[in-house]
């Protein structure tokens, strides 16, 4: 993924998924956006997930989640999943469920 300016993002050859969803919270009068970026991160089909939650108008990051999925081909095919970091409202988390 390449960031060309503060407002535009484009895919590169390693991008598997680049998506977002937004939500307006009427009670807080805030607009939130969740950015989800999956990219190829090694041989054999391994990939990484990077998800972040932002307050759109204040440009404040509320949380992030970083997870790797390593494809192991030998001796037997399997995928090893590992959460690299997870934080929501300045508190550590272990799963994406907190975002």
In a domain, 1, yes or no: no
- Tell me the pairing of strands 78-88 and 15-25: unpaired
Confidence of residue 94 (pLDDT cuts 50, 70, 90): confident
Domain-located, residue 50: yes
Domain annotation covers residue 27: yes
> Model's pTM, two decimal places?
0.74
User: From CA 56, how far away is CA 28, in angstroms rounded?
Assistant: 13
pLDDT digits (tens, 9 = 90+) for 5-39: 344 567 888 999 999 999 999 999 999 999 999 99
Q: Mind listing the pLDDT tens digit for each residue in 37-67? A: 999 987 788 999 999 999 999 999 999 999 9
Helix ranges (H only) for the chain are none
Specify the 3-state DSSP secondary structure of 61: strand
Does residue 29 form part of some domain? yes
Query: Please, is 65 exposed, middle or buried when counting C-beta atoms within 10 Å of its C-beta (0-12, 13-18, 19+)?
Result: buried
Q: What is the CA radius of gyration of the chain?
A: 16
Counted domains in the chain: 1
- pLDDT of residue 4 exceeding 60, the answer is no
Query: What range does the domain containing 53 cover?
Result: 11-98
Q: Does residue 48 form part of some domain?
A: yes
Instruction: Check whether 97 has a pLDDT greater than 70.
Output: no
């Amino acid at each position: 993924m390449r960031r060309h300016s503060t407002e535009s993002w484009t895919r590169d050859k390693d991008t598997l998924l680049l998506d977002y969803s937004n939500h307006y919270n009427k009670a807080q009068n805030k607009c939130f956006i969740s950015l989800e970026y999956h990219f190829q991160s090694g041989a054999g089909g391994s990939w990484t997930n990077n998800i972040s939650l932002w307050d759109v108008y204040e440009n404040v990051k509320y949380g992030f989640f970083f997870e790797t999925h390593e494809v192991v081909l030998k001796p037997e095919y399997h995928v090893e999943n590992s959460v690299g970091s997870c934080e929501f409202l300045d508190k550590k988390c272990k799963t994406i469920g907190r975002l």
